[in-house]
Amino acid sequence: MLNDYLPVLVMMAVATVIAVGMVVGSYLLGPKKPSRFKQSSYECGMTPVGTARERFPIKFYLIAMLFIIFDIETIFLYPWAVTFAGSERAVKLFNLAEMAIFVGILFVGYFYILWKGAFDWDEGQREDAEQPSRKIFEPRAPIRFGNESSGEVRLKAAADVSSSPTEESSRLTHV
Amino acid sequence: MPGSPTIWDDLTLILPLIVLWITSFVLLLGDVVVWKKNRDLNPILAIVGTLIALGIAVYQTISLTGDKAFARSLNMDALAQVSMIALLVTGLLAILLAWTYLKNRGLERGEYYPLMLLSVSGAALMGAANDLIVLFIGLEILSFALYVMAGFSRSDIRSEEASIKYFLLGAFASAFLLYGIALVYGATQTTQLSELASRVHSAQTPMLVAGIGLLIVGLGFKAAVIPFHQWTPDVYEGAPTSVTAYMAGAAKIAAFVAMLRVFDSLAPVSSVWLGAIQALAVLTMVFGNLLAIAQTNVKRMLAYSSIAHAGYLMVAIATLAHRLDGPRGAQAGELAMTGSLFYLFAYTFMTLGAFGVLIYLSNRGKDYQQIEDLRGLVRHDPRTAYAMLFFMLSLGGIPPTMGFMGKWQIFYAALSGGEIMLAIVMALTSVMAAFYYLKIVYVMCFEEPREAAPAPAQFSFGASLSVLLSAAATILFGIMPGLLYTLTGLVR
């Protein structure tokens, strides 16, 4: 019975050998000429200039949260529509009413966020916008995470490579 | 309705919940669009909705059918109805407490009352669940609203902390509960509690044991049982006091009614979980009371006291394990059921009362949170001090208060069920508890006030009425427990 799986086993063995062979082979045979750019974290794309933990507007989170309302609606509407098409005539009206109530409840949420102004990207423009209490914007002790460095970001690999400092490397090291 | 002839019967059975849902939708939209600035309408409408729901619930309790609704996923028996009444009463008192408190702090946003009503409906669903999945959904409805409410004071960093802490730990506990449900389903092929009762005995596999263990963790977190209690003091302290009062009452009722249901149907395999429940009960009673002694903040102290009360209720759950051990055990099981419901009523009245006193005093402008703040209260506000005195005596379980009657019923159930060890620990820790409750009484009545004459408390109708009602219930049901027993006695 398990014999049927023998090709799979062979396949896995071959795949493993090839994968390991390639990595080990390039490690043993390949020329090694390290340079500071090769050893920095990314060889392509943007030069890393700071921590990824930047503050960005909370509105993005808000939009992501509001999406749930429409998301859930779609998730339930699809299977409902499939069964509705196949349902008997007698229960069709009942099924329709059930879905109407469900969508009605979702609409309560939708109109709430609509009238509350959650879709206004630039809420300062609205005349009747609620003024948030001052306290929210008062400066506060910064929240620190344990693994955060003290602000200066150093790229260790780039700093360790001893070669003539160009403008590029100084930007990498001291920003 | 063609094709589904019983849907109206099903809907009638959950009519109180439907009233709550409609009220919260009306409040949610009405506050944004219709009565934008008239914020007093929110609590008034919320009270009206809750009263209607309460009326229907009481009517349905009188004409009890004990039907199962929605394909047997809800069990609208006496336990469901009585716990729903308890939750609606809690909600009502909490709305009254919140009224002026929120207004004085500028927290009067329209979302407060809809959230509270929705969480009451979630808690009631938990109490009525005949299916572990419904229980889980009820728990999530209750918890989501509470996470938001705990962080309602957005500009206060402590409130934010309470909210995020409660959310993260609560989500974790929910995952445990869900995994437990999945394993129990894997072992028994059912999530329905009434089915579970007849199947567990022949399905005693390691999977079932693991599932029950995870259920205990998940429910124990909500009920604030040591060692799953770490969130309680921080959340109780950080959340606005009106939220704390509501949360203390409602979450405890919901969690323990759910526990009663789950462990009632798991009674055939009580040997699997009895030891764990006993250990948790002892730990919770001993450490809840010990830690409460060290507190200087009244809200934190009441948080640890709520943990200690959870320990007493765990004794009732442990007694439930003997339900199938002959007639004596059956009687003890019944006593544990009725006793713990009575205790939950007592707990919600006295805890909301105690927080209500703090809220009433906080209407002076500053928050009354420290025990020091209550020093010499009897000199300048004797009525409030006497109300607090009664709640403290009741929490400590001293006759003739409701707290004593509740504790006595659980104690008696434990003795007749043969849980002698737990009964002894319960009696001893009650004595320990008297120390910190009476310390507040001592500080209020026998110490000189620090300040000469603080500004008189601004009269607040809601808080006064709520405290008055709680105090009246605490005394009335303490002297004449028979009145409430006609209600809790239905659960047999």
* Opening angle at CA B376, ends B374 and B379, nearest 5: 125
Model confidence at B50: pLDDT above 90: yes
Going by the DSSP 8-state scheme, the letter that residue B480 receives in this structure is: -
Which of the two residues, B301 and B400, has the higher pLDDT score? B301
Cα distance between residue B146 and residue B46, in whole Å: 17
* Minimal CA separation from B24 to chain A, in Å: 10
The verdict on A81 and A106 lying in the same domain is yes
pLDDT at A54: 77
Average pLDDT over residues A133-143: 48
Count of domains in chain A?
2
A132, part of any domain = no
Give the structural domain span for A94: 64-118
Contact between A140 and B106 using a beta-carbon 8 Å cutoff = no
Q: Minimal Cα distance from B1: which residue of A?
A: A94
The verdict on A36 and A68 lying in the same domain is no
Closest CA to A158 of A168, A169, A150, A149: A169
Average pLDDT over residues B329-336: 92
The verdict on A76 and A113 lying in the same domain is yes
What would the pLDDT profile of B83-96 be if each residue is shown by its tens digit? 999 999 999 999 99
Average pLDDT over residues B409-423: 93
A57, part of any domain = no
pLDDT at B340: 94
What would the pLDDT profile of B103-138 be if each residue is shown by its tens digit? 888 888 888 999 999 999 999 999 999 999 999 999
Nearest-CB residue to B32 (from A93, A94, A112): A112
Going by pLDDT thresholds of 50, 70 and 90, the confidence category of residue A50 is confident
Model confidence at B66: pLDDT above 80: no
Burial letters B375-407, b for 16+ CB under 10 A, else e: bbbbeebeebbebbbbbbbbbbbbeebbbbbbb
Model confidence at A152: pLDDT above 70: no
Q: Residue B255: what are its φ and ψ, rounded to 5°?
A: -60, -40
Average pLDDT over residues B415-440: 93
Q: Is B5 on the interface with A (CB under 8 A)?
A: no
A123, part of any domain = no
pLDDT at A166: 46
pLDDT at B451: 67
The verdict on A74 and A100 lying in the same domain is yes
- Helix (H) or strand (E) run with residue B75 in it: strand B74-75
The verdict on A98 and A76 lying in the same domain is yes
Model confidence at A80: pLDDT above 50: yes
Q: Is B155 on the interface with A (CB under 8 A)?
A: yes
pLDDT at B1: 38
pLDDT at B72: 87
A109, part of any domain = yes
A131, part of any domain = no
The verdict on A12 and A33 lying in the same domain is yes
Which of the two residues, B262 and B450, has the higher pLDDT score? B262
The verdict on A46 and A82 lying in the same domain is no
The verdict on A68 and A48 lying in the same domain is no
Going by pLDDT thresholds of 50, 70 and 90, the confidence category of residue A124 is low
Q: Is A42 on the interface with B (CB under 8 A)?
A: no
Going by pLDDT thresholds of 50, 70 and 90, the confidence category of residue A89 is confident
The verdict on A9 and A43 lying in the same domain is yes
* Minimal CA separation from A144 to chain B, in Å: 14
Q: Which residues of chain A neighbour B109 with C-beta distances below 8 Å?
A: none
Going by pLDDT thresholds of 50, 70 and 90, the confidence category of residue B280 is very high
A89, part of any domain = yes
A135, part of any domain = no
pLDDT at A127: 53
A136, part of any domain = no
Q: Which residues of chain B neighbour A136 with C-beta distances below 8 Å?
A: 154-155
Q: Minimal Cα distance from B106: which residue of A?
A: A133
pLDDT at B303: 95
- Predicted TM-score of the model (pTM): 0.83
Give the whole-number percent of chain B exceeding pLDDT 90.
69
Going by pLDDT thresholds of 50, 70 and 90, the confidence category of residue B15 is very high
